Structure formats: C-alpha cells, structure tokens
Structure 1
Amino acid sequence: MQGIKEFIKNESFPGFLLIFFTILALICQNSALSVIYENFLHLELGISVNGEGVSKEISKSLVHWINDGLIAIFFFCIGLELKYEVMRGQLRDIKSVSLPIFGAIGGMLTPALIFALINHSNDFAMRGWAIPTATDIAFAVGILMLLKGIPTSLKLFLLSLAIFDDLGAIIIIALFYTGELSVFAIFICLLCIALLFLLNYLHISNLGFYCIIGAILWVAMLESGVHATLSGVIAAIFIPIDKKNGDSFSKKIYDNLNPWVVYFILPVFAFANAGVDLRALDINYLLSPVSLGIFLGLFIGKQLGVFLFSYISIKLKLATFPQDANYKQFYGICILTGIGFTMSLFIDGLAYVDDLNAFAQADKLAILLASFVSAIVAYLYLRLINKANA
C-alpha cells in the first residue's frame, strides 16, 4: 500500500494516467464495447432554467460537456498558474524567461509552417494548421520525472515553455477558432468581465462570487460564438493573488483545483477524445497530407523549432543557457515538446468540427503516434545521454 501511495504522489503519475485512459479509449473503440462507448459519449445531457419571462435550455452530448465544460476548468488552472508566475513566480523576471519564450515561439511557428507547406493546397485541411503547435505539459513532465540526473534548470525550462505554449494555444483558439458572434451574448460576456474587474478592484476574496459570475460568463461565451473554454482564462485573470489580510488566495485555489485537473479532468478528456477506430483505417489515410503534417509538425517541427529559436536567442545574447546543463540534454527536452496529446486533440476537434470524420480519425491517430514517438525517443535519448555522462 505504501508503494502505491508513493507512486500516486509521484510527478510522473498524471502522465501514466493519460496513457492508461488513452489505451482504455482505444480498447473500447476497437472492441465489442464500441457501441457502448459511442453511446455513452453521445449521451445528451441538458440544463434548463424556466421562470417568469425566462426560459433557457442548454443541451449537449457528454463529450461536448467534457470539451466545453471540464476543459474550461483546465484553462482556469492555466490562467491561475500563469498569473501567479508572472506576478510572483519565475516568470516575473524577463531575463529568466526569455529562453522559454523564444523556445515556445519557435515551437509553434515551425510545426505550423511544416503543416502549411504540406497542406497549403487544401483550404479545409489548412484549418488544422495549429494542431501540431501545442505541448502536453502533464505527459511531458511525467516522462521527464521517470529520468534521473536531469538538471533542475531544464525541468524549469520545460515547465516555463509549456506555460507560454498554453498561452499561445489560448490566443490561437480565440483568434482563429471563433464561430459566428452573437452581439447579445458578447454584451453579457463584457458585463461579466466588468463585474469580475470590480470584484478584483475591491479586492474581494469570496470565491463564491467569482464562481457565480464565472459560470454566467461560461454560458454567455458558449452562446456567443467564442469558445467557452476561454472563460476559464478570463475568470482566472481577475482572481486576486492575496486576500486583504495578506493570506494566499489564487495559489490556494490552484493547489486545491490542480489535483482534480491532472487526476480527473485530463484523463477523462483523453478517454473521451482518444478513441480512434482503427478497424477500418486505411494506410492511405495515415499517409495523407493532414496526417503527415500533424506527425511531422509535432515530432520534427516542435523539437527543431524549440532548439533553433533557443539556440539563436542564446547566441544573440537575448537569453541565457540553463545552468548545469549541456546542449545534448537540452535537445532531449526539445524532443519532449513534441508530445501534443490533449491540447492537440482539443484543437483538432475545433479545426474539423464541421466534419469530424473527414480524415477517418487518422488526424487523431497522427497526434497519438507523434506524441508517443516523441515520448519514447526523448526518454531513450535522455537515458542514453545520462549514461554517457555518468
């Protein structure tokens, strides 16, 4: 029992959970359980409000509640972490974060360029240009924690880069994956944001107020055409860092919420989105431009982009190289950034929402393959480097 408790508390456990639920989803989708699995994910669930002069109902499938609702909480956590790190943490000093900033930029531009070069002739396929730009922090850190002898500075680099990577993904979703806008719903969103600003300005630290307004903001954003998950980031921005008496507020919320995100929300998301039907999959789909763009973008583009932009920034003295590390170890960390997984699956769902079967799920399979290949290659490479340095 003690060994199990220690394993669960280990930083690699969230990565293990993601792998487990991904495999479970694949088993369910490719076995006699496929009908049950599909029916379960497409179970319609709704919330209705009826009153005098007010009648509103929101009905969505379970998978949509997961992708629009639970992931909003994940984005809320990202927002809390980003704000705290900028205000109080390791991101408050620009000199200490310039390297992960340049690395994150390179790690988004290069995969997008590779995808675009392969798919530029197909307008529908080009909707997925952002799919290979994201890094899955839980999975990547989980792999890194399995290795010994990795300098702390490299772990901090990966964590910082992932934060900027997530911020970039959020901006991309807001700018490029927004539907037709509803003026009335946008007005309600702006009203909610104004109320959140007022709460923050008055330094009110009653979590209930933020939850109520945040929930209204989520519904309004869901109806507005802007992706509802962004409401989580917006709400997080207005959470005060401290209470009036100086006690921690946002950090405490993050610490209480993060276990739910890494142990429940992300595994549930993986289970709901990673179920690729392999039974009728044609090899031609795997070799299609979209699949190749995603695979090469994640596995090749991420590592090359992160390394080259980081290397150039160091040589131009715009950034400093991590302490107690060497370039061989650093490149292994760059390979790890090719683990797209949850964020890539999420963007994939947004990009091809009009026709989720357009590529016979080969796009999802390409994400899974690129993520697992990146994880395995990075692990073996870093382990080999560590042995050579021993």
Structure 2
Amino acid sequence: MTDTPPLDPTPPVRRRVFGRGTYGESLRIDEILRKESVGGTLLLIAAVAALVWANSPAFGAYYAVRDFTFGFEPWHLELSVGHWASDGLLAIFFFIVGLELKREFIAGDLRDPKTAVVPVLAAVGGVIVPAGIYALINASNPETLRGWAIPTATDIAFAVAVLAIIGSKLPAALRIFLLTLAVVDDFIAIAIIAVAFTSDIDLVALGLAVIPIALFGFLVQRYRRFFGGRVWTGWVILVPIAFAAWALVHASGVHATIAGVALAFTVPVVRSAASGGPDAGPGLAEVFEHRIRPLSSGVAVPIFAFFAAGVTVVGDELGAALTDTVTIGVVVGLVMGKVIGIAGTTWLVTTLTRASLDAAVKWIDLIGISLLAGIGFTVSLLVAGLTFGEGSPHDDHAKVGILLASLIAAGLASAVLAPRNRHYARIAAEEAEDADADGVPDVYQRDRDA
C-alpha cells in the first residue's frame, strides 16, 4: 500500500491589504500631503471669499468680474475669466494629476497589480455608486439627470487638508489609499469629461494638437541632453509648446484640461540608463511635480474655486436649492455613495480574493477614509458648470449641493477619524523609539524581510 503524504498543517498565507508599503514611499506621500494641505487651506479661503462676495450687496461686481471676457477669437480663446480659470488653470492641476498617476503605477507601490487592484477598484466603485444614486433620485427628470457625473470625483487638496488636520498619524497605507482614490477617480472624471461633454470635434485641430504634444514628449524624454540639469531653462521652451497643445485641444472641442493629462503622460518617471538609471535620483516626473505642485495647489486651484464656488444662497434661493433633486442627488451621492462604493467594493474584493486587511488597519478606518472621499469640490464644480452651464439655476443648486456635501463629509470623517488618529499617534510614538542608526523604523524592515 502506498503511504499517503502527511497534510501540511500550515495554513496558506492570506494576502494583506493596506500593508505599510515602503518607507521611501511613505516619506514621499508625507511630503505631498504637506503641500496639498496648504493648497487645501487656500482653496477653502477662496471658496468662502467667493460665497461672501456673491451674497453681499456687491454681488453684481463678483459676477461682472467672473463673466468679463478677453482673449483671441481666431484661436477660439475669447473666454470669460471664469472659463480661463476652469479651462486654463485647471489644466495645470490635471497635469499634476497625470504625473502622479503615472508615477504611482510605474515607480510607486502601486506598480504591483496585486497592490493596485484594491484602490483602483475601490475608486471605480466610488464613481459608479454615487452616479447611480444621483441617477435614481433624478430618474424622472431628463434635464436634471444629465448631472449624474457631478458626485463622482474626490477633491485631492480639500480632502488632504482635512486629513492633515485630523489624520496626520493614520497609517501611511490609508493616506496612500486616499491619495490614489482621489487621483484615479479624477482620472475617471477626466475620461467622463472627454466623452460625455464633447459633442462636435474639430478633427483638424485635434490632429494638429498631436504635434506639440509629441514635440513636448520628445524633449522631456531627452531633457538632460537638451537642457542639462537646468529645469527652468527647459520650461522656457516647454511652456509655449504646452500652451500650443492646450490651445489646439481647446479649439478641437475636447475639454482643454485633457491636454494637461496628455502632456503629463509623456514625462519620464524613472531615469534612463544614460542618465544613471533609477538609482541616480528622482526622475523628471517627480522633479516637475515638486516644482509645479505649489503653482497648482497654491494658485491655479484656489483661483478656479474662487470663480466657481460663488453662488447666491440668500433669501428664497437657498430654499429652492435645498428642495431641488439636483442638490439632493449630489449630497446623497457624495456622502452616502462614496462610503457604499469605496468601502463596499473593498469588502467585496477582499472577500472574493480571500485577502485580509493588514493587522494595523481596521474597517472603521476605511469607513472614515471613504467619508473623507465624499469631499468633492474642484472637479465636481467643473462638471456641474459643464453640465448645466455657468450661472444657470441647476448649476447654482449643484454648487450648493457640492458645498453642503463637502462640509457634511468632512464633519462625519472628522468624527470617525479623530479618535483613530489619537490611537495611531500612540503607536507612532512607540515606533519612533524602535529605529536603528539608519533612521528607518524597524517595522518597515520587518515587513520587508517577512
């Protein structure tokens, strides 16, 4: 009789979700969060200033400035100040989004598909469920149903600013998760803008836009050969090329912010072998991101918010807004839809793949992060204006819904995450003492060696 081999009593190791990742990535995320928290503060100040001015006796001056038109008609660039902010300045913001997205999936912790699948699918769930909730609430009205895309995006700067205040000690994996969610669903929103809000396309202008984009890509791929290590010298040449690409994309009928993403995707993330390889320092994408992010979060986004968030809510206007299904759909979609979509998708993925949360992370943490993702400001305001038209009643009501939902989401997230932050602060204090002479906490080394 053949002997039966004994069964291996050791259970299979379940894949961990929301592990620590690498220490270097944790430091990089901390730097991004610090910069975005400042930008989020400026964003909030700009939005409040716009609301105060739009509801003051001098409200007419606010709308006069926002609607003042200037530019070059032959290039289809005779735009209002508000449109210059949404079409032009937000292209800088989306350039940063493109850089961050490319870097995460090429050189970041998300280059491993097993690591990337959870935040990417969670972001998809966080887009589909809010859109579905809005559509259900507005199903009987084809006019308002067009706003289904408004509650799909998370505002990076605003959410990170709140996170910096209430969750600075949360595990790096959760902060990376929020950042990835925001970047991915902003990218999905970009795709929605490109498809849903593009009707008549000028194929000639769009084809011509490929030329400056390709030239931009050619130069940045050989940046050190042409410009050496002088970053700003290169930008003297690259900025006019980028502007030409943006103008041609705008003239084509595709929303001009798409040009920012297309340009970002041409920037190399890691150094080539001729430049010393990955070990020779940060790639050009990281250098550009470091230099341009302050311009995006400190100037471009706050100015856009100032001209997009102004809405009159005094008198009967507020009552009309609160009873409009547009407002209700946006609020419920952002506050409830994001939690159901993100946390629910994460639970579903971990269940189907037999994965488990890292021991350092609890489901209540994930719910808090999902609530924080309900802060949908910059891109939501952009989509609202594209959907209903700047200054229309439904656009104003959508803005009220976005502002209200963002405040509710921030408040609920604070209530959930503030106690958890105190818990993790105690753990962080213990880990700070557990470090070798290299300055890297031993917990990262143990995770790496495991």
CA distance in 2, matches of 1:56, 1:224: 10
Residues 153 and 322 of structure 1 are in contact (CA less than 8 Å); yes or no, is this contact kept in structure 2? Answer: no
Letter in 1 for 2:144: A
Taking only aligned residues, the RMSD between alpha carbons, in angstroms, comes to 2.4
Aligned pairs for 1:219-298 within 5 A: 219-241=247-269, 242=271, 244-246=274-276, 248-279=283-314, 280-298=316-334
2:188 corresponds to which residue? Answer: 168
Shift in alpha-carbon separation, 1:318–1:59, aligned structure 2, 3 A: farther
Q: Percent identity?
A: 36
Q: How far off its partner does 1:119 sit?
A: 1.2
Q: How far off its partner does 1:255 sit?
A: 0.3
2:176 corresponds to which residue? Answer: 156
Q: How far off its partner does 1:201 sit?
A: 6.2
CA distance in 2, matches of 1:12, 1:129: 29
Residues 68 and 81 of structure 2 are in contact (CA less than 8 Å); yes or no, is this contact kept in structure 1? Answer: yes
Letter in 2 for 1:346: L
Letter in 1 for 2:103: Y
Q: Structure 2: which 5+ residue stretches go unaligned?
A: 1-32, 228-233, 427-450
CA distance in 1, matches of 2:141, 2:38: 40
1:110 corresponds to which residue? Answer: 129
CA distance in 1, matches of 2:111, 2:353: 19
CA distance in 2, matches of 1:255, 1:276: 34
Q: How far off its partner does 1:226 sit?
A: 0.5
Residues 119 and 293 of structure 1 are in contact (CA less than 8 Å); yes or no, is this contact kept in structure 2? Answer: yes
Q: Say whether residues 1:303 and 2:339 are aligned partners.
A: yes
Query: In the alignment, which of 93, 97, 102 is matched to residue 78 of structure 1?
Result: 97
After superposing the two structures, state which structure 1 stretch, 168-177 or 208-217, moved more: 208-217
Q: How far off its partner does 1:47 sit?
A: 3.8
1:213 corresponds to which residue? Answer: 241
1:289-344 CA deviation, whole Å, 9 max, x = no partner? 11111110001101111000011101112765355111111111111010001111
CA distance in 2, matches of 1:150, 1:98: 21
CA distance in 2, matches of 1:11, 1:162: 12
Shift in alpha-carbon separation, 1:23–1:86, aligned structure 2, 3 A: same
CA distance in 2, matches of 1:80, 1:205: 21
Q: How far off its partner does 1:196 sit?
A: 4.1
SS at match of 1:59: strand
CA distance in 2, matches of 1:323, 1:377: 24
Shift in alpha-carbon separation, 1:39–1:111, aligned structure 2, 3 A: same
Letter in 1 for 2:286: K
Q: Say whether residues 1:65 and 2:84 are aligned partners.
A: yes
Query: In the alignment, which of 393, 397, 415 is matched to residue 358 of structure 1?
Result: 393
Aligned pairs for 1:132-143 within 5 A: 132-143=151-162
Residues 119 and 126 of structure 1 are in contact (CA less than 8 Å); yes or no, is this contact kept in structure 2? Answer: yes
Shift in alpha-carbon separation, 1:383–1:218, aligned structure 2, 3 A: same
Residues 133 and 333 of structure 2 are in contact (CA less than 8 Å); yes or no, is this contact kept in structure 1? Answer: yes
Q: Say whether residues 1:30 and 2:55 are aligned partners.
A: yes
1:348 corresponds to which residue? Answer: 384
Residues 202 and 251 of structure 2 are in contact (CA less than 8 Å); yes or no, is this contact kept in structure 1? Answer: yes
SS at match of 1:277: coil
Shift in alpha-carbon separation, 1:18–1:141, aligned structure 2, 3 A: same
1:204-232 CA deviation, whole Å, 9 max, x = no partner? 66534443332111111111110011000
Query: In the alignment, which of 412, 426, 436 is matched to residue 377 of structure 1?
Result: 412
Letter in 2 for 1:306: I
Letter in 1 for 2:90: I
CA distance in 2, matches of 1:368, 1:82: 26
Say how many residue pairs are matched: 376
Q: Say whether residues 1:119 and 2:138 are aligned partners.
A: yes
SS at match of 2:166: coil
Residues 246 and 257 of structure 2 are in contact (CA less than 8 Å); yes or no, is this contact kept in structure 1? Answer: yes
Residues 106 and 306 of structure 1 are in contact (CA less than 8 Å); yes or no, is this contact kept in structure 2? Answer: yes
Residues 97 and 160 of structure 1 are in contact (CA less than 8 Å); yes or no, is this contact kept in structure 2? Answer: no
Letter in 1 for 2:386: L
Shift in alpha-carbon separation, 1:225–1:319, aligned structure 2, 3 A: farther
1:326 corresponds to which residue? Answer: 362
CA distance in 1, matches of 2:141, 2:161: 36
TM-score (structure 2 length as normaliser): 0.78
Q: How far off its partner does 1:387 sit?
A: 5.8
Letter in 2 for 1:366: G
CA distance in 2, matches of 1:130, 1:210: 33
TM-score (structure 1 length as normaliser): 0.89
SS at match of 1:262: helix
Letter in 2 for 1:309: T
Q: How far off its partner does 1:76 sit?
A: 0.8
Q: Structure 1: which 5+ residue stretches go unaligned?
A: 1-7, 49-54
1:51 corresponds to which residue? Answer: none
2:230 corresponds to which residue? Answer: none
CA distance in 1, matches of 2:359, 2:172: 8
Residues 157 and 322 of structure 1 are in contact (CA less than 8 Å); yes or no, is this contact kept in structure 2? Answer: no
Shift in alpha-carbon separation, 1:306–1:196, aligned structure 2, 3 A: same
CA distance in 1, matches of 2:137, 2:226: 50
Q: How far off its partner does 1:174 sit?
A: 1.0
After superposing the two structures, state which structure 1 stretch, 147-156 or 365-374, moved more: 147-156
